Amino acid sequence: MDLTGKVAVVTGGGRGLGFAYATALARSGASVVVNDADEQAAKEAVDTITAAGGTAVAEVGAVGPSEVADRLVGRAVEEFGRLDVMVTNAGVLRDRVLWKMTDDDFDTVIDVHLRGTFTCVRAAVRQMRAQGGGGSIVVIGSPAGQRGNFGQTNYSAAKAAIVGMVRTWALECAKAGIAVNAVIPIAATAMTKTIPAFAPFIEEAEQRGEPFPKWLRQGEGFGTPEDVAGLLVFLASDAARGITGQAIGIGGDKLSLWSHPQEISTAYRDGGWDADAIAATWSTSVGRRPETYGIPEATP
């Protein structure tokens, strides 16, 4: 997949999934602005990319404020003349159950994930519309945002909202030829290591240096950051033109398409529904098969 001539920004690109995305994009020929709040991580990522023959520059800053988003886009234009791809990956965790979560826990995660995605995408789309020729927006969601996860009120809310914005932005950006999609990755990172369902397997792999077992890579779709990066390259390429408004899952050996929320069961009653009528029919009509929730436990 040849991305020669394309210019990308990757937020949170200093380590983990972001680093895998930035590396894969550069390996495929794109010039990359690597953003991270950690200056050393951003510099080391750029050094690794350039040592392998890629083209990259570092731009340090914590996403959220409009000023940082504008600076990232400005750096891409200043260094490489344009912007074709925006990948919003930066994130933090402040996990606590609802009754122990503080205002600061909530606001910090929402500011980085949700506001950071909004400001960076807005800045990117303004540049893409001004220069013409379309572009690709790839925002990073999470299974926690699709299904919920214990202790992650803030993170689940932000990731669910991000996918909601994707569907709106796909509509708004279509005329300009800008594709907008969400990637729902499942991979071994510092973040997923905090999820009880995956932590033991990540620790075991780190200690023994062995690959994840087949049942985990296929049954759970859980693998390494590098397993995810190919999807980013595809979505940044001309081969993905026309794909927009989608939430695409990837991890391990698994590639999937997430459904959009939609009505799955309906019932009608002349004159409408009062509480007694709902109670009388719930279990035999719309409530006959309740939806599941939460990330399934990883089991062999």
pLDDT per residue over 224-250, tens digit each? 999 999 999 999 999 999 999 999 999
Confidence of residue 195 (pLDDT cuts 50, 70, 90): low
- The CA distance from 202 to 188, in Å, is 6
Which position has the token pair 């959220």? Answer: 64
- The CA distance from 88 to 179, in Å, is 14
Q: What is the 3-state secondary structure (H, E, C) of the chain?
A: CCCCCCEEEECCCCCHHHHHHHHHHHHCCCEEEEEECCHHHHHHHHHHHHHCCCEEEEEECCCCCHHHHHHHHHHHHHHHCCCCEEEECCCCCCCECHHHCCHHHHHHHHHHHHHHHHHHHHHHHHHHHHHCCCEEEEEECCHHHHHCCCCEHHHHHHHHHHHHHHHHHHHHHHHHCEEEEEEEECECCCCHHHCCCCHHHHHHHHHHCCCCCHHHHHHCCCECHHHHHHHHHHHHCHHHCCCCCCEEEEECCEEEECCCCCCCCCCCCCCCCCHHHHHHHHHHCCCCCCCCCCCCCCCC
- The CA distance from 218 to 206, in Å, is 19
For the residues 35-46, what does the mean pLDDT come to? 98
pLDDT per residue over 46-99, tens digit each? 999 999 999 999 999 999 999 999 999 999 999 999 999 999 999 999 999 999
Considering the domain boundaries, does residue 1 fall inside one?
Answer: no
- 109 φ, ψ to 5°? -70, -45
Higher pLDDT, 183 or 208: 183
Considering the domain boundaries, does residue 166 fall inside one?
Answer: yes
Report whether 26 contacts 32 (CB < 8 A).
yes
Confidence of residue 201 (pLDDT cuts 50, 70, 90): confident
- The CA distance from 189 to 198, in Å, is 10
| Token duo for residue 277 | 């009528």
* pLDDT greater than 90 at residue 220: no
Q: Determine the residue type at 198.
A: F
Considering the domain boundaries, does residue 165 fall inside one?
Answer: yes
* pLDDT greater than 80 at residue 28: yes
For the residues 115-134, what does the mean pLDDT come to? 98
pLDDT of residue 215: 83
> What is the average pLDDT value for the chain, to the nearest integer?
94
Range of the domain at 127: 7-257
pLDDT per residue over 167-176, tens digit each? 999 999 999 9
Give the count of domains, the chain: 1
Considering the domain boundaries, does residue 207 fall inside one?
Answer: yes
For the residues 131-136, what does the mean pLDDT come to? 97
| Token duo for residue 290 | 């309740």
Exposed e or buried b per residue across 101-116, where buried means at least 16 C-beta atoms within 10 angstroms of its C-beta: beeebbebbbbbbbbb
* pLDDT greater than 70 at residue 194: no
Catalytic residues: 155
Percentage of residues in the chain having pLDDT higher than 70: 95
Considering the domain boundaries, does residue 160 fall inside one?
Answer: yes
For the residues 102-127, what does the mean pLDDT come to? 98
CATH number at 140 reads 3.40.50.720
In sequence order, what are the beta bridge partners of 226?
Answer: none
pTM recorded for the entire structure:
0.93
Considering the domain boundaries, does residue 266 fall inside one?
Answer: no
For the residues 178-206, what does the mean pLDDT come to? 80
